[in-house]
Structure 1
């Protein structure tokens, strides 16, 4: 790991250098996020991000790699909170329906947030010129969520609470249902960003449709805590 001295802020207009290395790296990613949102991916540079974050360029390279990998780290940071909704492998106290509706709300709250919408629009607008950008976004965002959900469903299948032919396909279908027209209209600006209440209603509706659609393949079992 890089020497933490490289993360000291500039004495001219910089933020204090106190805090743990993890906290300072978190702040660096926040600064990088704002640079990408303000300038786009193509116009943003490591030099620009280093100046905004008041760190040495080598700090960015040592901890995050090049600009493609830094963008991936930005997306990964943004999507991290979703995974708090996924119970541990041994967790069996919550019904599948409860867990899925919680995950649906988490996914929607993330992808419909102003930061996430801005980054997604950057990816759509610049993916042709920067193919690695799209790959970093998908790997660290959507695919990460689908994989975690598939792992949860596979674990539930082993516990006997669900019956599925393919947990990965089931996870993919569920995420697609969560996003759907609701997300597309918001991304295009056709509708205003939905309220927390609207997100909650949509998450519950999609979870119900998903469970009902799988019928005999997937059933929810509620267990006492």
Structure 2
């Protein structure tokens, strides 16, 4: 939960103007933090560097986020908001299930194929052994949130008799991984450039149709 932050402690010389709402200042802080993580990696990023880049006092970061891992989690959480918050009432969405799953897949791929998410994921892979809390922050605030939202929706569809599912959470995980698939893996490894809209559409149509064929009532 975002707390109130005293941004009046920011540097008066060389810093940003102290204008805008608290939320706007928080957003700018997260923008700067993302740039630092992408430039230095997680291990070499420090609160000193983060504070200097954002033109805020170090204690501002500590008071608001607690530590570096929590700040990284906040950066990832904001990136995942465009997926999860696009469906604030996903569990009660009355559109046809194919339309809902297709929209979810597009939102997911649009976000995870962005340079920011690809860069942060690469950082997590490289640093997970030394900083296990980093991997947890990335998963909980990114994939974990999307899968939970999708599982709630699939449960509602099961209760309506639209789908036959033994465990909605497992089905949500399977669909999530099907959407990412080799398309995301190859982009993550830098093997392929960003997929074309046509390639993404073909991939999503195939994924949604295959998933629904396996979950439709007999």
Greater length-normalized contact order (CA 8 Å, ≥ 6 residues apart): 1
Using the TM superposition, give the Cα deviation of residue 14 of structure 1 relative to its aligned residue in structure 2, in angstroms: 1.7
Q: Tell me the alpha carbon deviations over residues 163-189 of structure 1, each in whole angstroms, 9 at most, x when there is no partner.
A: 321110110100110111111111111
1:80 pairs with 2:88: no
> In 1, Cα distance between the equivalents of 2:196 and 2:9?
40
Cα deviation code 1:130-159 (max 9, x no counterpart): 111111111111111111100111122233
The answer as to whether partners of 1:45 and 1:67 remain within 8 angstroms in 2 is yes
Q: Residue 148 of structure 1 corresponds to which residue in structure 2? A: 149
CA contact (8 A) 2:162 2:217 kept: no
1:90-129 aligned at under 5 Å gives the runs: 91-129=92-130
Which residue of structure 1 lines up, in the alignment, with residue 35 of structure 2? 34
Deviation at 1:93, TM superposition (A): 3.0
**Match of residue 162 from structure 1:** 163
Q: Is the 8 A contact 2:102 2:208 kept in 1?
A: yes
Q: Aligned in 2, Cα 1:130/1:157: closer, same or farther, shift over 3 Å?
A: same
- Tell me, which stretches of 5 or more residues in structure 2 are unaligned? none
C-alpha displacement at 1:2, in angstroms? 6.1
State the alpha-carbon separation in 1 of the partners of residues 29 and 178 from structure 2: 34
Secondary structure in structure 1 of the residue aligned to 2:85: helix
Change in Cα spacing, 1:162 to 1:87, as seen in structure 2 (3 Å) is farther
Query: CA 1:145/1:89 → structure 2, altered by over 3 Å: closer, same or farther?
Result: closer
Q: CA deviation at 1:8?
A: 5.4
Structure 2: how far apart are the matches of 1:2 and 1:91?
A: 30
Number of matched pairs: 217
CA gap 1:37/1:109 in 2 versus in 1, 3 angstroms: same
* Other structure's SS at 1:63 match: helix
Is the contact between residue 86 and residue 149 of structure 1 (CA under 8 Å) also seen in structure 2? no
Q: 1:188 to 1:138 in 2, by over 3 A?
A: same
CA 1:134 to 1:3, structure 2 compared with 1: closer, same or farther past 3 Å?
Answer: closer
Query: What residue in structure 2 maps to residue 192 of structure 1?
Result: 193
Structure 1 runs not aligned, ≥5 long: 218-225
* CA-CA distance at 1:92 after TM superposition: 4.0
1:222 equivalent in structure 2:
none
Q: Is the 8 A contact 2:90 2:149 kept in 1?
A: no
- Report the TM-score, using the length of structure 1 for normalisation: 0.89
Distance in 1 between the 2:202 and 2:156 partners?
27
